[in-house]
Chain A
């Protein structure tokens, strides 16, 4: 009886039609549903973006088990971020950043890699007949700083609910010639800080992607082609942008035309640099893999590990120049053992294509340590 009553109420509500999606800055509390934010929502078989929610992509993204990612940013009317050369932009209170993790659906309930999809395929929303939504993470800039909320999508793909304790979701990834079962890990709220507290002493969360070097990129969206930073200025979300040429720019790790060193460094910067920097939690290792790290011992060349433990893989240097397969860096980024793998969080699979890039990069270095 009770269930019937609930059903009737639900039907009655549904009959009112879908509510318009209106972005909200929620200044405190822990909103239970992703839809409360009004940024992105599942409507009529699509994941749609509210008006004013700007999708973007990065020159080189973090690898997350081949998931596709739809990133958005929104700010309250009249607010804008201030451009900064190397750290995340100085975003105003009220900024809401979302990142939706999804996979294209493949045969027999498995999923396919989505990490190669570009903004022109994702930025207009996602067709839920073709993709499986896994989670949407929300980073919101409140008066007291950034706060992080992970939302996990339901089986029916109709809504995502807050899951502060994280989740472990078994999945099967189908690629040409291979099938991998793996457990997709949704981080818990404390683990968000594992990557986003980029200054480990201050312990404040920071966005990682929205930096000038990652966003400075020509993209296509809805038939138009534009530079993402110019677009942010145009929609009023960014001020103080210097002209192109006076801005750092990370390489696209997939861009065969870009220098090998720039591609590998971009991959290391986005996958490792948030911890492995002079202020990050992995400063304990003396290994700095962020964009600013000079080539040399601090980048791992000929450097003995400090506290790698069994994570050395039996090798003596973080990077053995000329010898990728004798480099701890390659061993750990290629491992799926939680006690050895790097990054420590955020993946259960190996990024084969990223590994191939690192191997080429190290193999091209003059061999030997003097």
Chain B
């Protein structure tokens, strides 16, 4: 007790006598404690990001020590005469739209069912969550096997015509296959988010509406859904951004094929840089991609800020 008192006194005296040096110590500490974070984030994210910006104006093959400044040529090429890039933009947009709608609608439905008082609710939640803990790349392989081998065997069993289609070999069908696998992989993630959202709705509000005579559908759309808006916002944001980043499953299941029919933006950038060795062009594409993602994120956040309700 006594000791404590003296140290306290000492530190107070110190502070009074040399306010400047204490401030300096504090400042030193602030810098020292944040420095590791600053260094690693700068090295792994900001430096490569700024270099990508810089190299988007250059021509570089990744190997040679020299890169040539070409101005806006890469952007012009990507935006005006690159049919593959345009196609990958369309594919990614269509994929993201379907992925967003399906995963949110199905997850909301499942979450509404699983948040009822059931014995098997937690078991079922586990079942739907299992794919999400797997590696997305391996999930691509799993479904490659199912589409290419399993479906034909199931066709022999059931004789349904759609099982005999070439789900990975046809340019039109491959889109549905990629969407299916994307939704299958992450559905459980959105289900648990919506369950958490539904559980946070206070019971008295629901009971009050029931006493007022609202039916199940009315209760869902007029009470639960508006109060669920924060969860919907989170899930929308996450599903749109992860839809736009679809990569691993394309890489292992389709390799962008057949032809370039399932080439996503991110996989296109990867190939442009590491297969075609056109780093400048790939960098320009990543900058365009970054701008698109930023705009969409801001739009979603703004859109939801208006719609949130308070109790």
| A complexed with B | no
